[in-house]
Amino acid sequence: MRTWWCLGIGLRRHDGVAVCSENEPHCLRITRVKIRTLIVDDEPLARERIRKLLQKEADLDIVGECADGREAVSAISEDKPDLVFLDVQMPELDGFGVLEKLDRGAMPAIIFVTAHDRFALRAFEVHALDYLLKPFDSARFKKALERARERIRRQETGELSHRISQLLADLKAGAQQQNRLAIKTAGKVLFLKLEEIDWIEAADNYVNLHVGNESHLHRETMAALEGKLPANKFMRISRSAMVNIERIKELQPLFHGEYAVILRNGTRLTLSRSHRDKLDRLLGRTP
């Protein structure tokens, strides 16, 4: 949104907006630009918190809110915001997945919002990217916002795109060394060591993480989680099940090319025919 003042007689219209003639020496032209801002977080209370803080800033214009990554990709592409508050952990498509799908040539300023993941926080700091660690106070919010304002004012989109590309590359490399999983449950963040997980069960847009006699419901699809877990430790054996390879005790052939997968705790699962190609890997053979 732009507002113009003219103190001379050279006022004219351009694209529906009043502007001053370049040759008019008595004109004073002042431009006020509101920063178009998008909020992306799967938690309603988190979106409300950010919205209330943003409403206190006169130079910001909230253009929308998104509750998941796919909504965010569409909104960023269509509305072209200048600034995005982006939650890191969301179901199906997380914050980093959103960035992967964006046009690097039209990247908005990003303030990452996260409640966990020390590796990601270190990566943000290494690449000088702004982030908010939940729970954050108004002072920390204002500091991140001021840095974002400065980036936008300097139009550092090219440099920002380069930093985000480096961030994503580092996160992919770090995922190969990941040894624990952070999940949101009952309003808190629980850290599970990968070696503790016996198997994982699909439940629509959720997964059930089975750890000994306990199970933890985590809001993420099986496909999304499979892409994050190290392939040398976890294996998808059917549409609805993924197992910790170290927890497998034995395999028993069934009918039609399927196999029973018996875990050390006695859990009995099925390796489906559509995943039979995984058998060579389970048996330590080269396909």
Q: Are both 167 and 48 inside the same structural domain?
A: yes
What residues form DSSP beta bridges with 110? Answer: 84
Q: CATH no. for residue 154?
A: 3.40.50.2300
Give the model's pLDDT for residue 10: 44
Q: Are both 154 and 87 inside the same structural domain?
A: yes
What residues form DSSP beta bridges with 208? Answer: 201, 217
Residue 162 lies in a domain: yes
Choosing from 129, 154, 175, the residue where a domain stops is 175
Give the model's pLDDT for residue 142: 94
Residue 81 lies in a domain: yes
Q: Are both 165 and 45 inside the same structural domain?
A: yes
Give the model's pLDDT for residue 178: 63
Residue 27 lies in a domain: yes
Give the model's pLDDT for residue 269: 94
* Domain tally, the chain: 3
Give the CA-trace dihedral at 12, 18, 24, 25, to 10 degrees: 160
Q: Are both 66 and 159 inside the same structural domain?
A: yes
Choosing from 175, 210, 242, the residue where a domain stops is 175
Give the model's pLDDT for residue 227: 73
Residue 25 lies in a domain: yes
Q: Are both 188 and 168 inside the same structural domain?
A: no
Residue 164 lies in a domain: yes
Give the model's pLDDT for residue 277: 77
Q: CATH no. for residue 251?
A: 2.40.50.1020
Whether the CB-CB separation of 194 and 229 falls below 8 Å is answered with yes
Give the model's pLDDT for residue 165: 79
The structure's pTM equals: 0.58
Kindly give, in sequence order, each residue whose CB lies less than 8 Å from that of residue 38, ignoring residues fewer than 6 positions away. 62, 63, 64, 65, 66, 72, 75, 76, 79, 81, 83, 84, 85, 108
Q: Are both 171 and 187 inside the same structural domain?
A: no
Q: Are both 154 and 237 inside the same structural domain?
A: no
Choosing from 155, 175, 195, the residue where a domain stops is 175
Q: Are both 81 and 144 inside the same structural domain?
A: yes
Q: Are both 191 and 224 inside the same structural domain?
A: yes
Q: Are both 19 and 51 inside the same structural domain?
A: no
Give the model's pLDDT for residue 18: 42
pLDDT in tens, the chain (287 residues): 343 344 444 444 444 344 454 454 444 444 457 899 999 998 999 999 999 999 999 999 999 999 999 999 999 999 999 999 999 888 778 888 898 888 877 788 899 998 765 656 766 877 778 889 888 999 999 999 998 998 888 876 667 778 887 777 776 665 555 677 877 766 677 888 889 999 999 988 889 999 999 999 888 888 878 877 887 789 999 999 999 999 999 999 988 888 999 999 999 999 998 887 777 666 765 44
For residue 145, the enclosing domain spans 36-175
Q: Are both 151 and 167 inside the same structural domain?
A: yes
Give the model's pLDDT for residue 197: 95
Q: Are both 47 and 171 inside the same structural domain?
A: yes
Residue 222 lies in a domain: yes
Give the C-alpha distances (Å, rounded to integers) separating 246 from 197, 262, 263: 10, 12, 9
Residue 287 lies in a domain: no
